[in-house]
């Protein structure tokens, strides 16, 4: 049973963020990726759920985007739950249901021993998320509150029409922008490389969200986001990224922009604009204008 103050922890890996219907046009090999559900004991959803936590290895990139998209899906379903993102190592006590990437599930199980665990292989196009939402709809609708909406994207950090480079060069470019803007210390760039070596930060739809690992939070001075556009693309393994969103997340301040990005990825026309526009204001408005 999930108590009135119960917490659902949805844990995941950064390559993710969020959007469960975003990637219907993924390649065949990605379409073969399915969600694998591993349960200890299904949690009853008959009582109020006040908070949902979506976590990953560091809690600032993929999980933040995933949390934003999940919140949108819950809202559409009439479930006004508070949705927060966190690192898998910081799953709060009392978590009753944990969703994690299969690479993080063992750690998640150790931290939340009494929780139901749903292990996924792909953060996007996730039927298990829809099943979870349907389960939640069967219970009472929780009451939540919105995250603060702070602007952490500067127009000077929106770089368009960049020449194609290697993946590491692109990550370095994003990291250097974060450093120059006073968001992070210079060693954060190494943490971005380390994160990428662990698991690709490519999330689909031509977008990658490079960021540091969990322990790199000590190098973050304040939350910040930078936007790099590569019309000719940057290879992330077998995938081609046209947009890099460099992230430094000290708190939850960056969630609003990631939420807007997640919503934008749901519209192919907007994705095309973000990948090809030469108008900084156009990108800025798409990523910073909140939906009503």
Which residues belong to the active site? Answer: 56, 211
Yes or no: say if 225 and 157 are a contact pair by the CB < 8 Å rule.
Answer: yes
Yes or no: say if 182 and 222 are a contact pair by the CB < 8 Å rule.
Answer: yes
Shortest CA distance to 211 belongs to which of 107, 87, 51?
87
The arrangement of strands across the sheet holding 239-248 comes to 153-159, 224-236, 239-248, 207-208, 202-204
Yes or no: say if 12 and 124 are a contact pair by the CB < 8 Å rule.
Answer: no
Cα(199)–Cα(101) distance, integer angstroms = 11
| Radius of gyration of the chain, Cα coordinates, nearest whole angstrom | 18
Strands 95-101 and 202-204: unpaired
């Amino acid at each position: 049973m999930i108590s009135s103050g119960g917490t659902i922890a949805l844990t995941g890996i950064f390559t993710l963020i969020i959007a469960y219907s975003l990637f219907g046009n993924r390649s065949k090999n990605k379409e073969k990726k399915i969600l694998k559900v591993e349960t200890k004991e299904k949690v009853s959803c008959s009582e109020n759920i006040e908070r949902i936590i979506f976590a990953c290895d560091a809690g600032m990139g993929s999980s933040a985007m995933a949390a934003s998209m999940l919140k949108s899906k819950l809202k559409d379903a009439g479930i006004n739950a508070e949705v927060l993102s966190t690192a898998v190592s910081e799953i709060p006590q009392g978590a009753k249901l944990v969703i994690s990437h299969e690479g993080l599930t063992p750690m998640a199980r150790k931290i939340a021993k009494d929780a139901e665990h749903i292990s996924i292989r792909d953060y996007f196009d996730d039927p298990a998320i829809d099943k979870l939402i349907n389960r939640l709809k069967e219970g009472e609708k929780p009451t939540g509150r919105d995250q603060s909406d702070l602007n952490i994207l500067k127009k000077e950090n929106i770089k368009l029409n960049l020449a194609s480079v290697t993946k590491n060069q692109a990550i370095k470019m994003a990291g250097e922008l974060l450093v120059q803007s006073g968001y992070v210390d210079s060693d954060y760039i190494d943490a971005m490389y380390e994160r990428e070596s662990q698991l690709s930060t490519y999330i689909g739809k031509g977008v990658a969200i490079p960021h540091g690992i969990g322990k790199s939070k000590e190098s973050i001075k304040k939350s910040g986001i930078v936007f790099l556009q590569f019309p000719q693309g940057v290879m992330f393994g077998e995938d081609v990224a046209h947009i890099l969103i460099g992230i430094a997340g000290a708190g939850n301040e960056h969630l609003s922009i990631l939420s807007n990005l997640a919503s934008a990825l749901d519209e192919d026309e907007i994705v095309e604009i973000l990948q090809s526009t030469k108008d900084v204001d156009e990108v800025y408005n798409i990523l910073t204008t909140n939906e009503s």
